[in-house]
Homo-oligomer: A and B are copies of this chain.
Amino acid sequence: MNSRELVELAQQLRVDSVRASAAAGSGHPTSSMSAADLMAVLLANHLRYDFDRPDHPGNDRFVLSKGHASPLLYSAYKAAGAIDDAELLTFRKLGSRLEGHPTPRLPWVETATGSLGQGLPVGVGIALAGKRLDRTDYRVYVLCGDSELAEGSVWEAAEHASYEHLDNLTAIVDVNRLGQRGPTRHGHDLDAYARRFQAFGWHTIEVDGHDVDAIDRAYGEALSTRGQPTAVLARTLKGKGVEGVQDREGLHGKPLPDADEAIAELGGPRNLRVYVQEPPTARLLHAVREEHVELPRFDRGDEVATRDAYGKALAALGTGRGDVVALDGEVSDSTRSEAFAKEHPERFFECYIAEQQMVAGAVGIASRGWVPYASTFAAFLTRAYDFIRMASISGAGINLVGSHAGVAIGQDGPSQMGLEDLAMFRAVHGSTVLYPCDANQTAHLVAAMADLDGIRYLRTSRGKSQVIYGPDEEFPVGGCKVLRSSGTDRLTLVAAGVTVPEALAAADALDREGIQVRVIDLYSVKPVDRLTLRQAAEETGCLVTVEDHHQEGGLGDAVLEPFLDGRPMPRLVRLAVRTMPGSAAPDQQLHAAGIDAESIAAAVQLLVEQAVVR
């Protein structure tokens, strides 16, 4: 498009943003209007995208990091012919795909946004996939707000992008100087942002964000910049084009006071149709995958840490499947993802100590059809909870693996102990939570999680434990293993991970005292095996959960899932970590927390003495 047409298109995007927000009675038109010229030029002259084939491997990728400017995005979709005007006006209404903040319910949306500072990190993931996995020359454009540059995650992304020389990535920053509450820290000081991006290794271009020719040149310069990502820093006015709202405070997230008047001031509705450039032909590298996976096999009785089994299984999975990739937060020697890194360096991504970028990178890579496994200490995945939450809204299929779970890590102390991770992951919509206790079980679950939907979490342990299952045993997700059972079980011990051997030892000790108890290995913490838990409840009357996790949100809550429809309940006893641990040896930690074999046996004996159980 030429300049005159671009100006017209930008006005149309503004008018449609105003109209959609007016129809909804809510939304962010002023935040859309500031970026309308930036979007118009991109859509008409630079983006290569087949709206009929959003899965086209050659498509450029666009991420609206300032997700509240969704009216602008949807107006652009309309201009491109992807949606019609009637659908545009369903914005924010029940059942509409056009949500307040964009989600992949729309086939052209790569990732859900709306929590600020996440679009660029995910964009980095997509650009990484383009460079190192797809090896296709699609470009990734991320439209950011200026306010969100205060989020540290943006600078994790900036660092990662320049380190990986992502010249296929362009950040477009809509510097409209006004946040939700008022002025940003740096106002219209584009240089302030330029200094920061440059220091982090980016090429920067400062531009008048309402000058379509200047924008056009800036995008061209970004395209021709080699070896580093580019940030186009655009000076804009919030509410641009409507005098009554332009550059004014107090108008964030509100429809314009008088939509009709504003539309008239913007020159009235238009009906320009943009013919977006076709993407070049490209192929999906991971379309070819071998499906035969030779998982590692461990001998019963050997002492193997589940984190070691994780590393070996992941490496084997990577050999069998060309679509599996791994990321780590600079602790691959601890999580053992280094085993994958050694065998498949081309599919391994070192994210350094930046857990938000690691998870966002996984989301971006997954959006391109790859199957990422991202690992760090379980404790440090809490750093990325907002990203995990948003990934679930995106419907992203990512595998997250947290090592060094619980007090069982020993001397390093509470800062390194994952004690909230089960609660955190269980509360994520549609998640799967797995917690293996031995090496063969770990290997099977690592392979099984690859093909699940949504967020999948695997919790591994630091210390060695005895292999108790044979290598050919099956471990369906949603299943469990009944390890001790008799007709005279007086209660059921439900354990997972490090508490399984403790529960078994307790059961054996109790058996010597003439007290039989059932033992269940609940390796699938979400979903749980409803039938087996119900049967145990009916037959033994009492479930005693034993977990190396805080008492809230973990195993103890998970076992309730089969009983929440009003049916008769078993009695419940919960053994969990209730005090703040310090430093001590692993066995001392388990004992202090009351979750070792001795403590379990003592608790059961007390229940028997008090005649709480049958």
A residues in contact (CB < 8 Å) with B: 24, 26-27, 67, 91-96, 98-101, 103, 105, 112-117, 147-148, 150-156, 159, 163, 179-181, 184-185, 195-196, 198-200, 328, 330-334, 338, 350, 352-357, 379-380, 382-383, 385-386, 389-390, 392-393, 410-416, 419-420, 423-424, 426-430, 526, 542, 550-554, 556-557, 560, 563-574, 579-580, 582-585, 588, 592, 607, 610, 612-613
From known contacts A353-B151, A584-B94, infer whether A572 and B572 are also in contact, taking CB-CB under 8 Å: no
Question: A198 to B199, alpha carbons, bound, how many Å?
Answer: 8
A-B pairs, 9 with minimum CB distance: A152-B152, A114-B415, A569-B569, A199-B199, A423-B427, A94-B584, A566-B612, A553-B553, A155-B155
Chain B positions within 8 Å of A568 at CB level: 571
Sampled A-B contacts (29; CB under 8 Å): A24-B411, A26-B410, A26-B412, A92-B413, A92-B583, A92-B584, A96-B583, A100-B412, A100-B415, A114-B412, A114-B413, A151-B152, A151-B383, A152-B153, A152-B357, A159-B185, A179-B352, A180-B334, A181-B330, A181-B331, A199-B199, A355-B386, A380-B386, A385-B386, A419-B427, A423-B553, A424-B424, A429-B580, A569-B570
Question: A274 to B527, alpha carbons, bound, how many Å?
Answer: 58
Contact of A382 among B352, B385, B569 (CB under 8 A): B385
Chain B positions within 8 Å of A184 at CB level: 352
Chain B positions within 8 Å of A200 at CB level: 196, 199
Further 16 A-B residue pairs, CB within 8 A, beyond A105-B582, A565-B573:
A24-B411, A99-B582, A101-B415, A112-B414, A114-B413, A114-B414, A148-B353, A152-B155, A163-B185, A179-B353, A180-B330, A199-B200, A429-B579, A429-B580, A557-B560, A563-B572
Contact of A179 among B330, B390, B429, B569 (CB under 8 A): B330
B560 touches A564 (CB 8 A): no
Minimal beta-carbon separation of A612 from chain B (angstroms): 4
A566 touches B553 (CB 8 A): no
Chain B positions within 8 Å of A357 at CB level: 152
B181 touches A338 (CB 8 A): yes
Chain B positions within 8 Å of A542 at CB level: 566
A147 touches B389 (CB 8 A): no
Minimal beta-carbon separation of A544 from chain B (angstroms): 8
Chain B positions within 8 Å of A390 at CB level: 415
Contact of A150 among B24, B116, B353 (CB under 8 A): B353
From known contacts A150-B330, A413-B103, infer whether A94 and B180 are also in contact, taking CB-CB under 8 Å: no
Chain B positions within 8 Å of A553 at CB level: 423, 426-427, 552-553, 557
Chain B positions within 8 Å of A557 at CB level: 552-553, 557, 560
Chain B positions within 8 Å of A155 at CB level: 152, 155
B385 touches A383 (CB 8 A): yes
Question: A96 to B585, alpha carbons, bound, how many Å?
Answer: 12
Chain B positions within 8 Å of A112 at CB level: 414-415
Copies in the complex: 2
B411 touches A420 (CB 8 A): no
Question: A600 to B357, alpha carbons, bound, how many Å?
Answer: 41
Minimal beta-carbon separation of A172 from chain B (angstroms): 18
Chain B positions within 8 Å of A382 at CB level: 385-386, 389
B429 touches A550 (CB 8 A): yes
Minimal beta-carbon separation of A496 from chain B (angstroms): 16
Minimal beta-carbon separation of A98 from chain B (angstroms): 8
Chain B positions within 8 Å of A185 at CB level: 159, 163, 352
B150 touches A159 (CB 8 A): yes
B583 touches A413 (CB 8 A): no
Chain B positions within 8 Å of A154 at CB level: 152
Question: A445 to B139, alpha carbons, bound, how many Å?
Answer: 51
Chain B positions within 8 Å of A151 at CB level: 152, 156, 353-354, 383
Of all chain B residues, the one with the shortest Cβ separation from A163 is B185
Question: A590 to B24, alpha carbons, bound, how many Å?
Answer: 19
Question: A163 to B552, alpha carbons, bound, how many Å?
Answer: 39
A180 touches B333 (CB 8 A): yes
Question: A571 to B560, alpha carbons, bound, how many Å?
Answer: 11
Question: A26 to B566, alpha carbons, bound, how many Å?
Answer: 51
B353 touches A147 (CB 8 A): yes
A115 touches B583 (CB 8 A): no
Of all chain B residues, the one with the shortest Cβ separation from A430 is B580
Contact of A428 among B117, B195, B420 (CB under 8 A): B420
Chain B positions within 8 Å of A410 at CB level: 26
Question: A34 to B567, alpha carbons, bound, how many Å?
Answer: 62
A429 touches B419 (CB 8 A): yes
Minimal beta-carbon separation of A459 from chain B (angstroms): 14
Chain B positions within 8 Å of A423 at CB level: 423-424, 426-427, 552-553
Question: A107 to B613, alpha carbons, bound, how many Å?
Answer: 46
Minimal beta-carbon separation of A251 from chain B (angstroms): 11
Question: A116 to B569, alpha carbons, bound, how many Å?
Answer: 44
Chain B positions within 8 Å of A67 at CB level: 415
A566 touches B607 (CB 8 A): yes
Question: A556 to B556, alpha carbons, bound, how many Å?
Answer: 13
Minimal beta-carbon separation of A566 from chain B (angstroms): 4
Question: A407 to B568, alpha carbons, bound, how many Å?
Answer: 31
Question: A610 to B383, alpha carbons, bound, how many Å?
Answer: 45
From known contacts A24-B411, A573-B564, infer whether A117 and B353 are also in contact, taking CB-CB under 8 Å: yes
Minimal beta-carbon separation of A595 from chain B (angstroms): 14
B429 touches A427 (CB 8 A): no
Question: A423 to B24, alpha carbons, bound, how many Å?
Answer: 32
